[in-house]
């Protein structure tokens, strides 16, 4: 099989599969990803795929399904999460969330963009090889995860540590990038912070300890540490440190004896999550030592590292070439939120990129949608990339 071959992706089959994926309800917190796994496996002839299922319990599952290729030493993983965000404001949706309405070339429904459009594109990659009776030049490994829209990233972590991906050559995450090539994503650290001081009347604050002011001071120290001397990332901007919740105060004329809140920290590639966490605990200890009876209790609620790829890496350069072959201008981007990539890339250690149809997650709260043509084009690009990459034999 040569890299010059170009297969036709069946548009009607793509629509049928995407519509069915949307109709299968995989909404958090229940997830029910096992229902989607069963449907996806039903699309392929028996024993066509080499499958490994991780059963998370409660009808939740993650899947690794490999389509063997000519060169089994090269394995390209196509990765996507099956779960979706909950439904918000259903009465304001113009298209029912699970109807998979098709109107004007656009498919509507929960998960259409994030990220069942991407999963449909990945499925069409495998199904097109099967339909053509063609052996891919390398193994194509479909990796479908549970809980990808949850901070726990349960499925991604399970796959990363399962050993099933230990010999993966490259990873492509089907995130909704508008078919741009995303080469980086932010990481995150979430802290729950409880500050205890000493109450006093506001007219004599010196005999008390203002917990609210100390909370804000603590946040400022972390914000300065995270952002100090950092250059803005070309695609991700600056690191962020934001107070997202804060409860404090007992009366208008009493300084706050307690302050309880959360801090959301977003980091860039090459920033170390553990270093930030250690700084937070160290700074809390310093503040308490200098301000008795101040008490600061920190709980790390979540920690996911940022990941990035060099723009001149062989994988990125080849993917840009393939996109250009379809007449497009290869545009690169970054994701401001974290994805399955932050749980899988550091463990698997393979080159990666993020690429898929659909708008980013900030545009998907209501009337979520994806262009059918963009799903088909994503599948075509992925097929061409696999042909090109597989021809390199290493």
The number of CA neighbours under 13 Å toward the Cβ of 81 is 32
Q: Is 167 exposed, middle or buried, given 0-12, 13-18 or 19+ CB atoms closer than 10 A?
A: middle
> What are 134-167's pLDDT values in tens digits?
999 999 999 999 999 888 899 999 999 999 999 9
Q: CATH 3.40.630.10 in the chain, residues?
A: 11-185+306-390
Q: CATH 3.30.70.360 in the chain, residues?
A: 187-304
The number of CA neighbours under 13 Å toward the Cβ of 347 is 17
DSSP state of 169: -
The answer, yes or no, to whether residue 393 has pLDDT greater than 70, is no
Rounded Cα gap, residues 20 and 24, in angstroms: 6
pLDDT value of position 377: 97
Number of C-beta neighbours around residue 99 at 10 A: 14
Global confidence as pTM: 0.93
Indicate the pLDDT class of residue 394, thresholds 50, 70 and 90.
Answer: low
- Specify whether the CB–CB gap between 99 and 85 falls below 8 A: no
> What are 23-68's pLDDT values in tens digits?
999 999 999 999 999 999 999 999 999 999 999 999 999 999 999 9
Rounded Cα gap, residues 349 and 305, in angstroms: 13
pLDDT value of position 2: 54
Q: Which listed CATH number (1.20.140.150, 3.40.50.800, 3.40.50.300, 3.40.630.10) goes with 11-185+306-390?
A: 3.40.630.10
- The domain made up of 187-304 is a member of CATH 3.30.70.360: yes
Number of C-beta neighbours around residue 333 at 10 A: 19
Beta-bridge mates of residue 370 = 107
Section 294-318 average pLDDT: 97
Section 191-197 average pLDDT: 99
C-alpha dihedral (47, 132, 393, 64), degrees to nearest 10: -30
**Measured distance between the N- and C-terminal CA atoms of the chain, rounded to whole angstroms:** 16
Return mean pLDDT, the chain.
95
């Amino acid at each position: 099989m040569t890299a010059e071959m170009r297969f036709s992706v069946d548009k009607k089959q793509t629509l049928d599969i995407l519509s069915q994926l949307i109709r299968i309800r995989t909404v958090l917190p229940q997830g029910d990803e096992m229902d989607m796994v069963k449907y996806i496996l039903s699309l392929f002839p028996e024993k066509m795929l080499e499958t490994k299922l991780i059963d998370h319990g409660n009808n939740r599952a993650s899947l690794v399904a490999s389509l063997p290729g000519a060169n089994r030493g090269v394995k390209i993983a196509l990765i996507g999460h099956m779960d979706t965000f909950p439904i918000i404001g259903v009465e304001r949706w113009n298209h029912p969330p699970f109807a998979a309405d098709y109107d004007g070339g656009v498919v509507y429904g929960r998960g259409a963009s994030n990220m069942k459009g991407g999963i449909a594109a990945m499925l069409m990659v495998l199904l097109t090889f099967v339909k053509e009776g063609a052996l891919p030049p390398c193994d194509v490994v479909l990796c479908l995860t549970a809980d990808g829209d949850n901070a726990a990233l349960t499925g991604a972590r399970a796959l990363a540590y399962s050993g099933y991906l230990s010999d993966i050559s490259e990873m492509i995450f089907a995130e909704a990038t508008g078919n741009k090539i995303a080469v980086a994503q932010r990481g995150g650290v979430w802290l729950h912070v409880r500050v205890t001081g000493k109450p006093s009347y506001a007219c004599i604050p010196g005999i008390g300890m203002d917990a609210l002011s100390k909370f804000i001071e603590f946040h400022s120290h972390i914000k300065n540490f995270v952002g100090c001397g950092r250059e803005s990332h070309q695609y991700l901007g600056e690191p962020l440190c934001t107070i997202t919740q804060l409860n404090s105060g007992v009366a208008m004329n009493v300084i706050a004896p307690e302050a309880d809140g959360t801090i959301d920290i977003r980091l860039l590639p090459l920033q170390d999550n553990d270093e930030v966490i250690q700084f937070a605990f160290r700074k809390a200890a310093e503040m308490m030592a200098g301000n008795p009876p101040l008490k600061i209790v920190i709980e790390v609620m979540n920690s996911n590292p940022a990941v990035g790829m060099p723009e001149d890496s062989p994988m990125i350069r080849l993917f840009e070439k393939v996109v250009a072959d379809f007449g497009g201008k290869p545009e690169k981007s970054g994701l401001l939120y974290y994805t399955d990539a932050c749980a899988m890339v550091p463990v698997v250690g393979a080159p990666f990129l993020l690429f898929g149809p659909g708008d980013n997650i900030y545009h998907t709260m209501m009337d979520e949608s994806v262009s059918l043509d963009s799903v088909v084009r994503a599948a075509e690009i992925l097929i061409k990339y696999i042909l090109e990459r597989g021809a390199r034999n290493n």
